[in-house]
Amino acid sequence: MSASYRFIVTAEHASPEIPAKHQSVLQEYASACELHQVYDPGTKAIAEELARRLDCPLQLGNYTRLLIDLNRSIGNSSQFSPPVFGLCETEKAKLIAEIFEPFRAAALQSIESAHHDGYTVVHLSIHSFTKTFKGQRREVDLGILYDDDRPAEKAFGKKLATFLRMVLPELNIRSNEPYLGKDDGHTTALRRRYPNNNYIGIEFEFSQDLDLDLDAESYATILAKALKAAIR
């Protein structure tokens, strides 16, 4: 790996787990939800394999996004699902303090450690999306999300996309689809904190039509090669 960069991998929606003490609030609601509303299938396997290949810090969300969404800012109306939003403010503040803030703090600690050692951080946030959303079929198979108003991040994202299109010609790989890289999220929050020259935030959005659990090793191997090529 380039001497001037370090990676960090996160998967905010890695788990469908509902803590025992919140089963009564969430279980019935979660059972009626589509899978992608509960968590991002396949992202835990991809994130673990990628972090292993990059030999870098890994931060996984441990609970369903229906409890609290680690990829939404405090105050975002979609941070809590409807049944959780209906809880008292004290209970919601407790979820923020016990789940959201420790997750974000752990990522910050990894970034600060790398910056202290003189490295630019490349943060890789791993997500998956449902191919059909609100009746519309999404054509993208793999999205690479970044902020195109940040020159270093845009250049990195474009280089990464070019390499991945060469090695994965069977996939429809697009930049800033099916979401915009500037939408509210973990990487967006970190961009506000860190300048363009020492933080690059990339979100990978995998179609859930892909067999991410079965093919996690091969996808992680390809991503690791692409990332190492992009930082040269």
Domain with residue 36: its CATH number is 3.40.630.40
Give the lowest-confidence range in 23-27, 80-84, 103-107, 134-138. Answer: 134-138
Residue pLDDT, tens place only, 44-99 = 999 999 999 999 999 999 999 999 999 999 999 999 999 999 999 999 999 999 99
Q: Which domain holds residue 35?
A: 5-230
- Do 180 and 145 meet the contact criterion of CB atoms below 8 Å apart? yes
With the CA atoms of 134, 136, 137 and 141 taken in that order, what torsion angle do they form, in degrees rounded to the nearest 10? Answer: -60
3-state helix, strand, coil in the chain (%, to 5): 45, 15, 40
Instruction: For residue 205, give the nearest of 130, 143, 137 by alpha carbon.
Output: 143
* Cα–Cα distance for residue pair 205/58, rounded to 1 Å: 17
- pLDDT of 1: 40
Residue 8 near residue 55 (C-beta atoms within 8 A):
no
Distance between CA atoms of residues 153 and 165, nearest Å: 18
Helices (H), 117-203: 151-167, 186-193
Q: Which residues contact 136 (CB under 8 A, 6 or more apart)?
A: none
Q: At what angle do helices 216-230 and 151-167 cross, to 10 degrees?
A: 130
Give me the number of domains the chain comprises: 1
Sign of the CA dihedral 151, 152, 156, 162? positive
Is 2's pLDDT higher than 80?
Answer: no
Helix (H), strand (E) at residue 9: strand 5-11
Model pLDDT, residue 136 = 87
Mean pLDDT of 31-54: 97
Q: Which residues of 55-93 are buried (b: 16+ CB within 10 A; e: fewer)?
A: ebbbbbbebbbbbbbbbbbeeeeebbbebbeeeeeeebe
The pLDDT value recorded for residue 134 is: 81
**Alpha carbons 217 and 48: distance in angstroms, whole number:** 9
Per-residue pLDDT band at 232 (split at 50, 70, 90): confident
209-229 pLDDT tens trace: 999 999 999 999 999 999 999
For residue 208, is pLDDT > 70?
yes
Percent over 70 (pLDDT), the chain: 99
Between 1 and 211, name the one with better pLDDT: 211
3: confidence class by pLDDT, cuts 50, 70, 90: low
- Mean pLDDT for the stretch of residues 39-46: 98
Q: What is the mean pLDDT of the chain?
A: 96
Residue 154's alpha-carbon distances to 130, 145, 146, 181, 183, in angstroms, are 25, 9, 7, 10, 15
- Give dist(CA 25, CA 184) in Å, integer: 26
**For the segment 144-165, what is each residue's pLDDT rounded down to a tens digit?**
999 999 999 999 999 999 999 9
